[in-house]
Amino acid sequence: MAELIEPVESVLTDCREYWDGVRTGPIVTFITAPTYRQMGDGVTLDLDAMAGAAAECLRTDLHARDPYVPPAVCADFGTISTARLYGGRILPAREGGKVHIEPAIRNLGDLERLTPCPFEESDFQHAITLWRRVCDRVGTDRIFLRTPDFQGPLNTLALVMDQETMLAGFYDAPELLRHALFSITATLIEYHQRLRAELGGGRVIGNIWPYTTLPEDLGASLTEDLWPLLGADLYAEFGIPCLRKIAEAFGGVQIHCCGRYAHHLPALKESGIRIRGLEFHHPFTTFAELYRIFGDDIVYIPYLFGECKDYPDYPAFAESLLRQGGLRTRFWFAMAEGWCEEAALRRLVEIDEGPLRRDSSDERDETTKGISC
């Protein structure tokens, strides 16, 4: 299997050029669905079983040879990985559900005792162990890692403490909340930096979600799912400073949010933070809202909410986006097998033979905006 991994450096080079805007237009990637994600009940981990399943997924992906997908382990132990650094009773997954965590903090005054567990007891260490076991199984360490779920500082705090108490605290005890968020931010940066160092450098290619490939020298991929609950003024005051620290530590950010967040876009743009890419879920946040603020400066990672009836299927949604974008608009359609008809989606964005040609050598011409298939 090691011989299949030789071209990974060229894959990373292509991905860097795409994130930097040297390459433009849409791309489609499909990976083997990582069925080992959140394997078990979330309380006890069977890393050997996860490693065996991960190795099988890697073998399939390597034979598929997707040009923007290096072999990577998805170290998914649930959305609670950052919150469990601070305690809280783990609620096991039941009846096909996901693992949850009870708030460790119920009162604002308890924020002063917010202390993370040692790195060695964290899901970051579990990720390292999982990665090494997969390396043993495939016979090489030239594979990559998607980090444990990187919930941003606001998300992490919202899992660590009672959310109603937290939201009231923005008004009743803003300095306590600000101090706690800065403390969490420092811990997340420290633990992610150590994770990268222990893997040997250059091994992290993003978060467990979305399935894009973000080389670690270009930034960190994190979640901001508290966005829909916060007004623009609150996020600008409490969230932007934390996001800036993370972006400065890692060289930029790719952000996931599956809710409505267009009201935060002006503050994000004005902040000057290096936003590499934004994931959005139609219809909660639309491409038109994003493009109006960021234009062709970032990568767009689109998803269609499962119950949305605006389009008959995902390829139809993708076709609509391609018509709305310009020649240099970067859409990364990051899929897993079985999510949609792969051949139909690939036909839409095929550079050489498809109905929509994207030529990165051309200057953008406003007359081409709104081009149709």
Q: Which CATH architecture has domain 2-360?
A: Alpha-Beta Barrel (3.20)
- What local confidence, expressed as pLDDT, does residue 97 receive? 73
- What local confidence, expressed as pLDDT, does residue 208 receive? 95
Phi and psi angles of residue 57, each rounded to the nearest 5 degrees, phi first: -60, -40
Residues 6+ apart with CB under 8 A from 290: 262, 265, 278, 280, 300
CA angle 98/336/214 to nearest 5° reads: 90
Helix (H, G, I), strand (E, B) or coil at 158: helix
Domain ranges of the chain: 2-360
123-138 vs 47-64: helix crossing angle, rounded to 10: 60
Both tokens assigned to 4: 């299949």
- What local confidence, expressed as pLDDT, does residue 302 receive? 98
Each residue's pLDDT expressed in tens, for the chain with a length of 373 residues: 555 555 677 889 999 999 999 999 999 999 999 989 888 777 788 999 999 999 999 988 877 678 898 999 999 999 999 999 999 899 887 766 788 999 999 999 999 889 999 999 999 999 999 999 999 999 988 899 999 999 999 999 999 999 999 999 999 999 999 999 999 999 999 999 999 999 998 999 999 999 999 999 999 999 999 999 999 999 999 999 999 999 999 999 999 999 999 999 999 999 999 999 999 999 999 999 999 999 999 999 999 998 899 999 999 999 999 999 998 999 999 999 999 999 999 999 884 333 333 444 444 333 333 322 2
CB 212 within 8 A of CB 334: yes
Alpha carbon distance 4, 65 (integer Å): 9
Both tokens assigned to 210: 């979305």
Alpha carbon distance 301, 21 (integer Å): 15
Alpha carbon distance 276, 12 (integer Å): 15
Report which of 145, 122, 121 is spatially closest to residue 133, judged by C-alpha positions: 145
